[in-house]
Amino acid sequence: MPRTIPEPPFELSALIPEFADLARETTLLYPRSGNPGVEQSSMGGPLLWPADEPWPYCDQPGHWTCGPGSSAWEKVTPETVPMVPVIQLFARDVPGLSFPPGKDVVQLVWCALLHEQDPAGVVLPRMYWRNEAETVAAGLLGDAPAPDEGEYDEDLIPRPCTVCPTPAVEYPQRDLPEGLLQALLPRLEELEERYGFWYSEVACALQNKVGGYPAWTQSPDWPHCSQGHRMEHLFSITGEVAYGRWLPLDEHRPGTAQPIWDAPADPEIFDAIGPELEIGDAGGLYVFLCRRCPDLPYAHRSDCH
Ligand SMILES: [Zn+2]
Ligand SMILES: [Zn+2]
Q: What is the pLDDT of residues 35-48, one digit of tens each?
A: 999 999 999 999 99
Q: Which candidate, 283, 279, 238, places its Cα nearest to that of 123?
A: 279
Distance between Cα 276 and ligand 1 center (Å): 20
Distance between Cα 222 and ligand 2 center (Å): 13
Neighbours of ion ligand 1 (CB under 5 A): 58, 60, 111, 113
Distance between Cα 239 and ligand 1 center (Å): 20
**What does the alpha-carbon distance between residue 278 and residue 5 come to, in Å, rounded to a whole number?**
24
Which of 177 and 209 is assigned the larger pLDDT? 209
The predicted pLDDT at position 31 comes to 95
| Ligand showing the shortest atom-to-Cα distance for residue 290 | 2
The predicted pLDDT at position 75 comes to 78
**What does the alpha-carbon distance between residue 257 and residue 251 come to, in Å, rounded to a whole number?**
9
Distance between Cα 74 and ligand 1 center (Å): 14
Give 157's pLDDT tier (boundaries 50, 70, 90).
Answer: very high
Write the secondary structure of the chain as one string of H (helix), E (strand) and C (coil).
Answer: CCCCCCCCCCCHHHHCHHHHHHCEEEEECCCEECCCCCCCCEECCCCCCECCCCCCEECCCCEEEECCCCCCEEEECCCCEECEEEEEEEHHHCCCCCCCCCCCEEEEEECCCEECCCCCCCCCEEEEEECHHHHHHHCECCCCCCCCCCCCCHHHCCCCEECCCEEEEECCCCCCCHHHHHHHHHHHHHHHHHHCCCHHHHHCCCCCEEECCCCCCCCCCCCECCCCCECEEEEEEECCCCCHHHCCHHHECCCCCCECCCCCCCHHHHCCECCCCCCCCCCEEEEEECCCCCCCCEEEEEECC
Distance between Cα 233 and ligand 2 center (Å): 13
Distance between Cα 109 and ligand 1 center (Å): 11
Distance between Cα 229 and ligand 2 center (Å): 5
Distance between Cα 281 and ligand 1 center (Å): 19
Residue 50's DSSP bridge partners are 140
Give the pLDDT confidence of 229-238 residue by residue, as tens digits: 999 999 999 9
Rounded to two decimals, the pTM is: 0.92
| Ligand showing the shortest atom-to-Cα distance for residue 151 | 1
| Ligand showing the shortest atom-to-Cα distance for residue 61 | 1
| Ligand showing the shortest atom-to-Cα distance for residue 123 | 1
Which of 239 and 51 is assigned the larger pLDDT? 51
Distance between Cα 221 and ligand 1 center (Å): 23
**What does the alpha-carbon distance between residue 147 and residue 157 come to, in Å, rounded to a whole number?**
10
| Ligand showing the shortest atom-to-Cα distance for residue 299 | 2
Give the pLDDT confidence of 94-129 residue by residue, as tens digits: 999 999 999 999 999 999 988 875 555 577 899 999
CB under 8 Å to 186, separation ≥6 — which residues?
Answer: none
* φ and ψ of 211, to 5 deg: 70, -160
Distance between Cα 78 and ligand 1 center (Å): 9
CB under 8 Å to 54, separation ≥6 — which residues?
Answer: none
